[in-house]
Amino acid sequence: MSFTIEQLGPQHTDALRSLLVKDPPHNVYLLGLFEEFGIVPRAGRARFAFHGRFDASKNLTAALFVGGEGGLVVPSANESSFICDIAKTLASQVRLQASLGEKSSVDELVRHLGGSGKTRLTRTQRLFSVSADDLGPFTNPTLRLAREEDIPRLMPLALGAVRETLERDPLAEDPCGYEARVMQRVRGRRTYVLEEQGALVFKVDVGSRSQHGAELEGLYTVPHERNKGHATLCLGQISRHLLSSLPRLILRLDDKHESLARIARKVGYLSGRVQRIVLLE
């Protein structure tokens, strides 16, 4: 079957949107990037591009987001062979540093765009999704948006989430940049916290977001407050709150973190396809 690979431009906006909304749960991350940044960079914004695979009838069959020259590469939820076709075409232009998406597609991206880069991190994950109709009766109305004055108390939780789930130390890798990202999320009203007796004991972030759904990230309960139901009640609360205006939410959870998967299922999240996140040096 003949096909062509093209960098997408404004004339492809409707085609890209139509492609991504065919599978919203598995394209939530890309839909958020697309809705926030558009299909081409605006003046003064960081460089990125969408690349597409078109069949012989000029239908868009797969897409690939490339930030910079490979700082972040995200495939659409399509056949991995289609993603492979795009990757082969970009092999001389892109050196992958980070990618997330369906495991089979990310594996193809690493094979064709990873070069000789050494793997810093790789995680196999499961995507979970939920709609309002799936939710159980779990709520905690004291969950609230984090405020700027919370940041000194929030930082240990934010660090703990990364260290525990990704086994990385963001302060060692990029201390100024990491704290700025925590601050940015708080200012963007994307971080929620639970406070008990003057201490923050739980946090969750809203990551990629669009009219088609949002991704929750960084669920974290401080160790001495675990097994008290905080995560279950707070996940139920944030899910109910966001699903009052969004059609779906997703979570990506590592296979080895079965306790979080049990919490997600209890709240009403349904298991989806296998995902992978990879970071290369």
In CATH terms, 4-117 corresponds, of 3.90.1690, 1.10.10, 3.40.630, 3.40.50, to 3.40.630
Residue type at 51?
Answer: H
Return the pLDDT at 130.
97
- Which two structure tokens, joined as six digits, stand for 120? 């810093």
Assess whether the region 4-117 and the region 130-273 belong to the same CATH fold.
yes
Return the pLDDT at 258.
87
Strand ranges in 68-103 using DSSP code E only, listed in sequence order: 72-75, 98-102
The answer to whether residue 175 scores a pLDDT higher than 90 is no
- pLDDT single digits (tens) 253-266: 987 788 999 999 99
Q: What is the CA radius of gyration of the chain?
A: 19
Return the pLDDT at 273.
92
Return the pLDDT at 79.
93
The answer to whether residue 166 scores a pLDDT higher than 90 is no
- pLDDT single digits (tens) 37-46: 999 998 888 8
Bridging pattern class, strands 199-210 and 191-196: antiparallel
Burial of 160-179, coded b for 16+ CB within 10 Å and e otherwise, reads: bbbeebeeeebeeeeeeebb
- pLDDT single digits (tens) 223-275: 999 999 999 999 999 999 999 999 999 999 987 788 999 999 999 999 999 99
Residue ranges of the domains in the chain? 4-117, 130-273
Return the pLDDT at 169.
85
Mean pLDDT for the stretch of residues 26-41: 94
Q: What angle do CA 86, 87, 90 make, to 5 degrees?
A: 90
In CATH terms, 130-273 corresponds, of 3.40.50.720, 3.40.630.30, 3.20.20.140, 2.40.10.10, to 3.40.630.30
- Can you give the pTM of this predicted structure? 0.90
